[in-house]
Amino acid sequence: MTKEITRENFNSVIETDKPILIDFWAGWCAPCRMLGPAMDELAEKYGDDIIIGKVNVDEQRELAQHFNIRGIPNIIILKDKQIVNNLVGVRPAAEYEKSLDSLLEPVSETIASV
């Protein structure tokens, strides 16, 4: 399931080497509610490999301001505490998956022949 992210638990959530997807949303936002099931599916698909969290912008205004959220839904993807993708509006689930998968792919090392 998705993790509720608040000002109180934010620092502990980002202290990880795992990628983090944060869904900034509000209960009154119809597109946000449409995106909710997709976020739950992503959380189920990626399990412990990626943290999928939600920030209610009405309840967590300080976090929304910290990330300069101007419109919702807004999906921020972090790796090593850095924003690697910022997606505003509802997108196909495959677009979120592509971004997340790119963060999970192992870095291949090239070995030169001697």
Which residues belong to the active site? Answer: 29, 32
The secondary structure of 9-66 as a DSSP string is THHHHHSSSS-EEEEEE-TT-HHHHHHHHHHHHHHHHHGGGSEEEEEETTT-HHHHHH
